[in-house]
Amino acid sequence: MTHLKICGLTNTEDALAALDAGADYLGFNFYPPSPRYLAPEQCARIVSDLTRLTSHLSFSLVGIFVNESPAHVLSILDQCGLHLAQLHGDETPEEVAQYHGRAFKAFRGLGQNHPPYVHASAPAFLIDAYSPHAYGGTGHIADWSAARSIAQQHPIFLAGGLTPLNVAEAIRQVRPWGVDVASGVESAPGKKDHAKMRAFADARRKVAL
């Protein structure tokens, strides 16, 4: 089944609901300009709550960063108890390699930073829609045709404008390793709509049946 990442979580209630809906990955945003920004101390409390309250054992926790140093990112991963960093800025292959498999690169569009440069130790990478004004979370739809050609060669998360209404078609067309959603399951930036999360997860499941 296509993996599911629900991103931009800001509170324990939404994180628990994401897991109940069937998320395999939970994403927390550490980019201050984002409306979904979360301070490391807040994230650490949510992770502590999840450890205490959930019986789920097979999910991964991801921190989203933009143009931060590897040392800073790794310190936050350790502080918050996160498994992976999603690097959503202009990080170089050399910087990504310093994580030794604890990070994967997000690409906004498929231009000069073409995904095949990605280091072999990354678990996957993410294809998002391009916007000149934002590092993701825009609600714009990615180029599914281009993403499909990449998905045939590499495991990818497909992001960008996915909703409960279009995720099934996106999976059919692109055949990604995983799908990533933030704004498409929200009632407001940083506040998840639990019914939309369940509908998104259900639509993803039906493609796999």
Is 122 a residue whose pLDDT tops 90?
Answer: no
Catalytic position from the list 14, 24, 128, 180: 128
Is 164 a residue whose pLDDT tops 50?
Answer: yes
Catalytic position from the list 7, 24, 43, 180: 7
Strands 60-65 and 84-87: parallel
Percent of the chain with pLDDT over 70: 85
Q: How confident is the model at residue 153 (pLDDT cuts 50, 70, 90)?
A: confident
Give the pLDDT score at 135: 46
User: Of 103 and 93, which is predicted with more confidence?
Assistant: 103
User: What is the three-class DSSP state of 24?
Assistant: coil
CA atoms within 13 A on the CB side of 10: 20
Average pLDDT, the chain: 88
- Cα separation, 129 vs 141, in Å, equals 6
Is 25 a residue whose pLDDT tops 70?
Answer: yes
Distance of CA 78 to the CA centre of its chain: 18
CATH superfamily ID and name for 3-208:
Aldolase class I (3.20.20.70)
Q: How confident is the model at residue 116 (pLDDT cuts 50, 70, 90)?
A: very low
Q: Which residues contact 61 (CB under 8 A, 6 or more apart)?
A: 25, 26, 28, 47, 50, 80, 81, 82, 83, 84
Q: Is 128 known to be catalytic? A: yes
User: What is the three-class DSSP state of 33?
Assistant: coil
Q: What predicted TM-score, i.e. pTM, was given to this entire model?
A: 0.90
First to last CA, the chain: 8
Q: How confident is the model at residue 191 (pLDDT cuts 50, 70, 90)?
A: very high
Q: Is 43 known to be catalytic? A: no
Is 130 a residue whose pLDDT tops 80?
Answer: no
Which range (12-16, 42-46, 69-73, 96-100) has the least confidence? 96-100
Q: Are 184 and 200 in contact (CB under 8 A)?
A: yes
User: Of 192 and 127, which is predicted with more confidence?
Assistant: 192
Q: How confident is the model at residue 124 (pLDDT cuts 50, 70, 90)?
A: confident
Give the pLDDT score at 140: 67
Q: Are 163 and 184 in contact (CB under 8 A)?
A: yes
Average pLDDT over residues 68-83: 96
Q: Quick: pLDDT tens for 167-180.
A: 999 999 999 999 99
Sequence ranges of the domains in the chain:
3-208
Q: Quick: pLDDT tens for 132-145.
A: 444 444 556 878 98
